[in-house]
Amino acid sequence: MENIDLINTLNDEQRAPVLQTEGAVLVTAGAGSGKTRVLTHRIAYLIQNGVHPYNILAITFTNKAASEMKERVERITYDCQDMWVCTFHSMCVRILRQFADKLGYTKSFSIYGEQEKESIIKQILASQNLDEELKKTMAYHISNAKNQNLSPAQYAQAFAYLHEIESIVKVYAMYQEELKKNNAFDFDDLLIKTLELLQTNAEAREKYQERFHYIHIDEFQDTNRVQYEIAKILCQKYGNIMVVGDEDQCIYGWRGANIQNIFDFKEDFRDVKVYKLEQNYRCTKNIIDVANRVIKNNAQRLDKVLYTQNPTGEPIELFVGYNDVQEAGFVARRIGELIKQGFNYKDIAVLMRYNAMSRSIEEGLLHANIPYKVLGGMKFYERAEIKNVLAYLKLIVNNLDNESLLRIINFPKRGIGSSSINQLRALADAQNMSIFNYLKAFGDTLSTSLKNKVLPFRDLMIDLIDKQNMMPLLDFVKEVILRARIKEAYLEKDTAEDESRIANIDSLLASVDNYAKIYPEDSLSEYLQAITLLSDADERDESQDSVVIATVHAVKGLEFRAVFVVGLEDENFPILRENSENDIEEERRLFYVAVTRAKERLFLSRCDSRFKYGSVRRFMPSRFLDELRGMGNIKFVSFNLGYNLDRQPSLGSNNRYESHAIQDDAYTNYALNADANNTQSNIGQNSFSFESLSKSSDGFVVGAQVEHPRFGIGTIIDTSKLQSMNVIIIDFEDVGIKNLTFDVSPLTLL
């Protein structure tokens, strides 16, 4: 392909940063503006102009994005096998595999995820007789310290005002010692240990500074300070670095992402060239208008305004309901209508601020026979049966890994109880050895009883360790599962759950087979590394035709033809924390990200009340909805349920919403009764009934006044059938909204 052809496929905004190959370049790229296209074309342009792929580094947000970027470059240049296209964590693992010994680790180190992290913290708290309540915040504090590259002593000084700071830094220090003993890094360590290596070891620093002539970083707004420092070191020799990001999509502040990196980049590099990508290729004009209207209220941003040449599109719908059951009904009905219009289920996403809000939506879709998948739920590689297999494999690769050994030493059951394990741990600690290495060296000296239990396990592992490089990867993993009798452990009870676990183990074998075909030269260690670094987005199965239910965080980088953003109430979206303006700005960015996931249709919804923290509570409308006040391209959809019929949504007196009040009580219960293949089946008739009640329902209708001996006088505002119980929802004058079971509640009609 000629260079002129490559460049002419870009618009003027995109072309400029591609041609600016030398020096420091900052591209601020609005949602859907083609930033991935800019990155891939710039890399291809460099290669076509004589830069060897070996000298190019591209850092992306997910492994999936890295794979797609490499494929796109290969389609253009046919030559990028030696180029590193990877996430920050993957890059750091590669560097540490080469130089971990310079930091006092072996190159066969393990990588610990959140489960292993929590397990170690729990053990430390128990050993120090510290309150286990500390466990809830300890993982956060450790990660917070590492994201800022603070040692325990530095963290103690910086956060001296915190209650229990002494206990926090004590556990932090002991946690780090335990990782070192296990020859393991957690995810934060992969970054800070790489930074430490590059800062202290000239050989490693010079090797990678010389290798990477051109550095590209995608999603720069989501980098933390440690990642930014690594990038600055790597580009010191040649100075050619392009970062692409959107400060309006910085939504990971809670895990260390530092929006300030974008602004600091302009100060830290000389003669920075700044380019804006403002043309959106994804969304309709109506969706872009909503995104622009809200995000302009943030102060921490560079000045840019999205625009699009796409059609105006359908109006945005705003639904206001009395409760989350109605909200689920609205979502279910609209999804049914979209399917009739030619959408696939997988084209549709229901997005919310936090996972707990999914319950009512899931119930609504279940009752409407709408297939769905919760993104970011239980991950495949975090299932117990999969973790058990992986623990065997990790111990084979890293004999110092106590966490993996403790997981499997009594799986399948070998009669090795907690007292035996504690004895082994104490003996190993006394010799300053890992438990497995202690068993290898001194296992024959143990008491007869303990020896009979642990030596078969030790001998099995020694044999498997010896064989790991003598067999193809798939055959070896099968051998481990067979020799350890893992499947047999799930055959004893013969339950449906155990059958599912065996099926999951077979799925794991399929993943090993697939990996081995793509990377036939890779070792067991490299396979374990690859699956450990998978993210939520990497694990999404797009082959399933299912509606996606997810938090906004979980769909970063994804797009859908239709998006529902639910739960738009203050306290729910945005979540309010100490009235911090920085927090509100990040919440607003979350809303912006949610809106711009939609390509064609956008639905917004809120409720007057929803079930939260064990009771039904009332909520004020989201302030982000107030910021949409006066927009003429939003259609207001509500229910006419018998009271407050004259009100408009709480967005101010000057709104110009088109009111489409639905004159149908049955719509309330749509989530419980609708057939996804016949979305109009219940409209126009009252589908809710008290047929199964043991007492008469005469008079107990929406709008009727009732009296309860404890709660006083109230007004019936809704009736819904939840979990096979007849529930009546009443707004009491003194205590607010209550969900009551009709059969047993002592209600009197007034």
Query: Of residues 227, 249, 308, 719, which has the active-site annotation?
Result: 249
The catalytically annotated residue of 36, 98, 123, 148 is 36
Residue linked to tokens 């993957």: 90
- Count CB neighbours of 50 within 10 A: 6
Distance separating alpha carbons of residues 1 and 22, to the nearest angstrom: 22
The reply to whether 2 belongs to the active site is: no
Residue 564, H or E segment:
strand 560-565
Specify whether the CB–CB gap between 588 and 294 falls below 8 A: yes
Q: Is 601 a catalytic residue?
A: no
- Three-state SS string over 83-136 comes to CEEEEHHHHHHHHHHHHHHHHCCCCCCEEECHHHHHHHHHHHHHHCCCCHHHHH
- Dihedrals phi, psi of 56, to nearest 5 degrees: -115, 135
The H or E element containing residue 451 is: helix 448-467
Which residues, 6+ apart, have CB-to-CB distance to 268 below 8 Å?
232
Q: How far is CA 192 from the centre of its chain?
A: 22
Closest among 198, 199, 142 to 174, alpha carbons compared: 142
Q: Which of 193, 333, 597, 721 is catalytic?
A: 597
CB 286 within 8 A of CB 314: yes
- What residues are paired with 635 via a beta bridge? 317, 658
Name the residue among 168, 90, 163 with its Cα closest to residue 532: 90
- Closest Cα partner for 407 from 486, 509, 494? 486
Annotated catalytic residue, options 219, 317, 324, 327: 219
Using the CB atoms, write b or e for 321-342: b if 16+ within 10 Å: bbbbbbbbbbbbbbbbebbeee
- Is-catalytic flag, 478? no
Q: SS3 for 28? A: strand
Transcribe 263-314 into DSSP letters. Answer: HHHHHHSTT-EEEEE-B-SSS-HHHHHHHHHHHTT-SSS-----B--S---S
Q: Compute the distance between CA of residue 704 and CA of residue 717 in angstroms, rounded to an integer.
A: 8
Residues contacting residue 296 through CB under 8 Å, at least 6 positions apart: 305
Of the listed 218, 347, 569, 731, which one is catalytic?
A: 218
Q: Which of 14, 28, 35, 468 is catalytic?
A: 35
CA distance 231 to 571: 37
How many angstroms separate the CA atoms of 46 and 77, rounded? 10
Q: Give the C-alpha separation, 667 to 677, whole Å.
A: 16
- Cis amide linkage into residue 17, ω under 30° from 0: no
Q: Which helix (H) or strand (E) holds 593?
A: helix 581-595
Q: DSSP characters for 376-438?
A: TSS-GGGSHHHHHHHHHHHHHH-TT-HHHHHHHTTSS--S--HHHHHHHHHHHHHTT--HHHH
Question: What is the CB-side half-sphere exposure of residue 364 using CA atoms within 13 A?
Answer: 28
- Give Rg (Cα) of the chain: 29
Q: Whose CA is closest to 724, among 748, 693, 702?
A: 693
Residue 532 annotated in active site: no
- Residue 357 has φ and ψ, to the nearest 5°, of -75, -10
Contact criterion met (CB below 8 Å) for 604 and 319: yes
3-state secondary structure of 543: coil
597 is catalytic: yes
CA atoms within 13 A on the CB side of 392: 27
Give yes or no for a contact between 209 and 175, defined as CB atoms under 8 angstroms apart: no
Contacts of 642 (CB under 8 A, 6+ apart): 665, 701, 702, 703
Q: Is 219 a catalytic residue?
A: yes
Residues annotated as catalytic (active site), given as ranges? 35-36, 218-219, 249, 597
